[in-house]
Structure 1
Amino acid sequence: MKKKRDWFLPGMVLAVFLAWLFPQPGADGGWLHPELITSGGVALIFFLHGVALSFAALRSGMLLWKLHLVVQGCVFLLFPLIGLGLYAATAHALPDDLRVGFLYLCALPSTVSSSVALTAAAHGNVPAAVFNATISSLLGVVLTPLWMSTVAEIASSQGSLGKVVLNLCFWLVLPLIVGQLSRPWLGNWAARHKPFINTVDRGTILLLVYTSFCDSFVLGVWTQHGLTAVLATIVLTTLLFWLVFWTVGAICTALKFNREDRIATLFCGSKKSLATGVPMAQLMFGSDPGLGLILLPIMVYHPLQLVICGVLAGRWAKEHHTPAPPLGEILAAAEPSPSIPDEN
């Protein structure tokens, strides 16, 4: 059988390349009107997530409170504390925007679709993964800007912290709720047209990636830091992933989690959402010329976590004596697709 190819990761590279070649259309004041694309694109992405998300799939995973505390504690406490330490330790070694970007990566919620897809591929606790991935996205609307307010001057362009949270609720949570309320009419249509919804969702994110980098290229941010910033990001994101992954594994061992719960905890607790990170950064940082550098860590961390966790999912599936889908299919099914598996 022919393996599915994931076009999203090459698409991110292409979006940045196009921003380098043709930055003017997506820059502040450009004919693409990035301020409108940002608002409309964010709302569309989270509306699609709301339409595709079955809350029935959440119910069976709600009672595992110990697992939930570990996952959310890792995502919103362990990660950000490491991010603050990294921010302080690199004060004279990295550009300020990149340092903010690492903290932003650490403050983001966990992924949705990829956490669930990988947990299912490895034969882990899928209902627990669905519950934690979804709750993480909702908590991130408040906790991500709260962590960022400790070092980043979000208020300088977007108003008070409360205004930032309200803005995120309006463009992220409200469309999600509207999408969820639309499920009686659109749910069956969404189930039949998952490939189309996936394409629209990912294409919108790539457009936001393009506009996020345009101002950086117009103002020459990358001429100062280019290759050094990229290499430093690759090294630090790799170290960050394994530090958190091993820590989460040690916590699971200490709490004597069974195999299924351990897999769900590892995948949900070590991952960060690009699908949420790009739109949220657009809303939080506005037209900040350093937005490209701020987004660089999550754009490197995203494919890194998918590849490593995809390989691990395949290995754990073999240990379960049931083959996992090919890695290409796992990655193609992974975030930022809004598709959520049903209860069964």
Structure 2
Amino acid sequence: MKLKFDPFILFLFLSILIAYIFPDLVLIQEGQLVETATSVGVALIFFFYGLKLSFQKIKDGLQNWRLHVAVQSYTFLLFPLLVLAFRPLVQTALQEQFWLSFFFLAALPSTVSSSVVMVSIAKGNIPAAIFNASISGLIGVIVTPLWMQLFLDFGEVEVLGDVYLGLFKEIILPVVLGLFLQRFLGAWAAKYNKTLSNFDKAVILLIVYSSFAESFVSGIFDTIDSTYLLAVFGGTVCLFFAIWFMVDMINKKVLKFNRADRITALFCGSKKSLTHGSVFGKFLFVNSTSAGLYFLPLMIFHAFQILVVTIIAQRYHKQAEESDATTLH
């Protein structure tokens, strides 16, 4: 199996470059044009998600409750608590900003499509992967803002009234509407799945552009240097491998999952969703000029997890094929 490069990663960094060169585009019509476009785009992303959600596959994955509890615990407890352990080291405002960007990453739900694809390649428990990846985003709508409100200054934004209402209107409501119309439009969504996936990515790129453009306009990037960026990259890589080895050890030594469940718990429990992160950040950092900085670890983590987990998934796939061949002989 050949390792494929995901061009979306290149487009992510290209959107940052465009934001750097043309930051004033975000100010058109006092920012209303970009804001409206992203709101409509986000709602459509989750409407299409509802159209594609398979009740049968989710039902098939419901029975293994130990696996589900483990995956969601890794995602919403182990991740944040690991980053929280470094909170006492924060001394300055810049360090606070740096730490908070990692805590935001840690508090996010797991990614959906790539988790299922990787589990499939590695020959893990696919129905359980679909269930956990699907429900993670819905849990995150509630849990992520709760974690963030402990340390993020929302200013005049009310978590319950503004953040939750916004997430409900742009995520939960479209998903429910998509589920309701699935019987009529489900086949259409399945047929044009690749096109809809490209639409999702385009909306994410718009959100990334908007966040970084606002940060460039405010001059927030003038306050950091290359050392900060290297620290973000190093911290992101260390966080990924720390979580990966901790989850793997717990699956093997404590929970003693079989091979298929271990792969699912490892792949779903160690990943974070750029899609949900982009959407949540739109509400959580609505009045923040540092939004671009808060997105940096998430973007690096997204690119790194795709690269590394793809390699690992292919290795698991090869091991499974060799095992099957040995069994046959």
The bucket for the TM-score relative to the shorter chain is over 0.9
Corresponding position of 1:330:
none
**In 2, distance between residues paired with 1:27 and 1:262?**
48
TM-superposition CA deviations, 1:272-291 (whole Å, max 9, x none): 00011001100221141100
Question: In the TM superposition, what are the counterparts of 1:181-220 in structure 2 within 5 Å?
Answer: 181-220=180-219
Say which SS state the counterpart of residue 153 (structure 2) adopts. coil
**In 1, distance between residues paired with 2:3 and 2:238?**
30
**Is 1:245 the equivalent of 2:244?**
yes
TM-superposition CA deviations, 1:57-96 (whole Å, max 9, x none): 1111111111111111111111111222234324338443
Q: After alignment, is 287-296 or 88-97 more displaced?
A: 88-97
Amino acid at match of 2:238: L
**In 1, distance between residues paired with 2:294 and 2:312?**
29
Checking the alignment, whether the CA contact within 8 Å between 2:207 and 2:278 is kept in structure 1 is yes
The structure where helix makes up a greater share of residues is 2
CA 1:3 to 1:188, structure 2 compared with 1: closer, same or farther past 3 Å?
farther
Say which SS state the counterpart of residue 200 (structure 1) adopts. helix
Checking the alignment, whether the CA contact within 8 Å between 1:47 and 1:179 is kept in structure 2 is yes
**In 2, distance between residues paired with 1:167 and 1:139?**
15
Checking the alignment, whether the CA contact within 8 Å between 2:3 and 2:310 is kept in structure 1 is no
CA 1:165 to 1:315, structure 2 compared with 1: closer, same or farther past 3 Å?
same
Corresponding position of 2:85:
85
| TM superposition shift of 1:125 | 0.3
Q: After alignment, is 236-245 or 164-173 more displaced?
A: 164-173
CA 1:4 to 1:316, structure 2 compared with 1: closer, same or farther past 3 Å?
closer
Q: How many residues align?
A: 322
**Is 1:305 the equivalent of 2:298?**
no
**In 2, distance between residues paired with 1:47 and 1:86?**
38
Corresponding position of 1:272:
272
Corresponding position of 1:99:
99
**In 1, distance between residues paired with 2:98 and 2:38?**
22
| TM superposition shift of 1:2 | 9.6
Unaligned stretches of 5+ residues in structure 1: 324-344
Question: In the TM superposition, what are the counterparts of 1:1-16 in structure 2 within 5 Å?
Answer: 6-16=6-16
**In 1, distance between residues paired with 2:296 and 2:256?**
36
Checking the alignment, whether the CA contact within 8 Å between 2:145 and 2:159 is kept in structure 1 is no
Amino acid at match of 2:311: V
Corresponding position of 2:221:
222
**In 1, distance between residues paired with 2:27 and 2:123?**
45
Q: After alignment, is 258-267 or 229-238 more displaced?
A: 229-238
**Is 1:168 the equivalent of 2:152?**
no
Corresponding position of 1:72:
72
Unaligned stretches of 5+ residues in structure 2: 324-329
**In 1, distance between residues paired with 2:313 and 2:93?**
36
**In 1, distance between residues paired with 2:225 and 2:167?**
30
Q: After alignment, is 168-177 or 308-317 more displaced?
A: 168-177
CA 1:27 to 1:295, structure 2 compared with 1: closer, same or farther past 3 Å?
farther
**When the two structures are superposed, what TM-score results if normalisation uses the length of structure 1?**
0.88
**In 2, distance between residues paired with 1:27 and 1:215?**
8
Corresponding position of 2:327:
none
Amino acid at match of 1:26: V
Say which SS state the counterpart of residue 91 (structure 2) adopts. coil
Amino acid at match of 2:249: A
Checking the alignment, whether the CA contact within 8 Å between 1:87 and 1:102 is kept in structure 2 is no
TM-superposition CA deviations, 1:13-37 (whole Å, max 9, x none): 0000000000011148556623212
**In 1, distance between residues paired with 2:81 and 2:292?**
23
Question: In the TM superposition, what are the counterparts of 1:74-153 in structure 2 within 5 Å?
Answer: 74-92=74-92, 94-153=94-153
Checking the alignment, whether the CA contact within 8 Å between 1:158 and 1:285 is kept in structure 2 is no
Q: After alignment, is 225-234 or 88-97 more displaced?
A: 88-97
CA 1:28 to 1:239, structure 2 compared with 1: closer, same or farther past 3 Å?
farther
Q: After alignment, is 60-69 or 26-35 more displaced?
A: 26-35
Checking the alignment, whether the CA contact within 8 Å between 1:277 and 1:298 is kept in structure 2 is yes
User: Identity, % of aligned pairs?
Assistant: 41
Amino acid at match of 2:193: K
Q: Output the aligned Cα RMSD.
A: 2.0
Amino acid at match of 2:175: L
Corresponding position of 2:317:
317
Checking the alignment, whether the CA contact within 8 Å between 2:47 and 2:174 is kept in structure 1 is yes
Checking the alignment, whether the CA contact within 8 Å between 1:146 and 1:161 is kept in structure 2 is no
TM-superposition CA deviations, 1:118-174 (whole Å, max 9, x none): 0000000001111111111100000000000110012x1422435422221121111
**Which of 1 and 2 has greater Rg?**
2
Amino acid at match of 1:302: H
Question: In the TM superposition, what are the counterparts of 1:253-292 in structure 2 within 5 Å?
Answer: 253=252, 254-292=254-292
Say which SS state the counterpart of residue 119 (structure 2) adopts. helix
**In 1, distance between residues paired with 2:27 and 2:125?**
44
TM-superposition CA deviations, 1:234-270 (whole Å, max 9, x none): 1111111111111111111121100000000000110
CA 1:157 to 1:7, structure 2 compared with 1: closer, same or farther past 3 Å?
farther
